[in-house]
Amino acid sequence: MPACDADAVVGFTPTGRETAARPAPQLTGVTHGTTMQPNATQRGRPPTDRRRGRARPGSRWLGAVVLLAAVGIGTAVGTQASAEDDLYTRGGEVFQDNCAACHGTRAEGGTGSGDLGGPAIDETDINYWDLTVRTGRMPIVAPEVGIRTDVLDEQDREALAVYASERFDLPGAIPTIGEGDASRGQDAYVRNCAACHGAAADGGISGAATQVPALVGLDGVAIYQATRIGPFEMPGFDPAVLSDDDIDDLVAYLDLVDDTPRSPAGVREVDQISSALFAVGLALLAGVVVLVVARVRRWSPHEPEGAHADPPFEPRR
């Protein structure tokens, strides 16, 4: 067998044909007996810049990008936490200024009389809190205890919800309304809502002469909250009866109704109250017309033709 060249190795194929010469691999490292350990390149590790003893420029850029991303994520998380802390602090101030006088400093219930003896709300669903504030039912103006705000603005309402949820560990969560289908929402409204709130959602009178509020003009979150928790005399609807998708459809339908123009008199439908008032008004108008005509005929200076045609009555002498 011919001696091998120190600079090249000639390979042979199974057919015996000689292959092209290729450089012999260079093995570096510490010897153990007669075996040489492969260097980093032969073990599959990425090569390094031997001139400077550090990774190639591509690796440095990748590390910088990862570092910047980590810093950005940390900054965003810190900013979000700071914003939540600010909301919580502001919510505590709103609660003390507008709620504590009637419901207690720990929402355990008020000790005063009348409006100042508010019920305990420390275990009430957060959606009930938010609904009463969102629709303007709370806070009740009581200047004698310093409550002078009748409607909280959007920022204060949101801050109060954040504070109450965390401070009192209230159940529930403020919902998010999705995009619904108005045609399906109309069917759901007719089946479940129109009997009390009217065909055009303008409110009306329900059983026991209960005044039912209008639904037009309310935002979708308030519609969802009222449907689920059932405030006051209204029953709550289980998801088996009205799913979240059904409520989204209801909101879409009510938005469409709200955009419907009214008549010149400002009426969108004639409900029970409007019908009764209209009938009473017609009756009063008819009575006034009859009274006026009768008085005009009685006091008219012109007697009708043929009146007093007979000689006047002569008294007996």
**1 within a domain of the structure (yes/no):** no
| Residue where a domain terminates, one of 99, 134, 167 | 167
Mean pLDDT of all residues in 105-115:
85
| Residue where a domain terminates, one of 114, 140, 167 | 167
Site of tokens 């009581």: 142
Q: Cα torsion at 47, 52, 53, 58 (round to 10°)?
A: -50
pLDDT tens-place string over residues 264-316: 555 555 555 666 777 888 899 898 888 888 776 665 556 555 555 555 556 66
- pLDDT value of position 30: 44
Q: What are phi and psi of 128, to 5 degrees?
A: -70, -45
Q: What is the CATH number of the domain that holds 236?
A: 1.10.760.10
Dist CA 262 CA 268 (whole Å):
5
Mean pLDDT of all residues in 216-239:
92
Dist CA 257 CA 215 (whole Å):
10
Q: In 3-state terms, what secondary structure has residue 280?
A: helix
Using alpha carbons only, what angle is made at residue 91 by residues 89 and 95, rounded to the nearest 5 degrees?
Answer: 120
Domains contained in the chain, number: 2
Residue 262 banded pLDDT, cuts 50, 70, 90: low
DSSP-derived pairing of the beta strands 22-23 and 31-32: unpaired
**pLDDT > 70? residue 91:** yes
**4 within a domain of the structure (yes/no):** no
Query: Is there a single domain that holds both residue 143 and residue 193?
Result: no
**38 within a domain of the structure (yes/no):** no
Q: What are phi and psi of 12, to 5 degrees?
A: -125, 135
Query: Is there a single domain that holds both residue 144 and residue 84?
Result: yes
**Domain residues for 82?**
62-167
**303 within a domain of the structure (yes/no):** no
pTM summary value: 0.60
**283 within a domain of the structure (yes/no):** no
Query: Is there a single domain that holds both residue 145 and residue 190?
Result: no
Q: What are phi and psi of 131, to 5 degrees?
A: -65, -45
Query: Is there a single domain that holds both residue 74 and residue 160?
Result: yes
pLDDT tens-place string over residues 150-195: 789 999 999 999 999 999 999 999 999 999 999 999 999 999 999 8
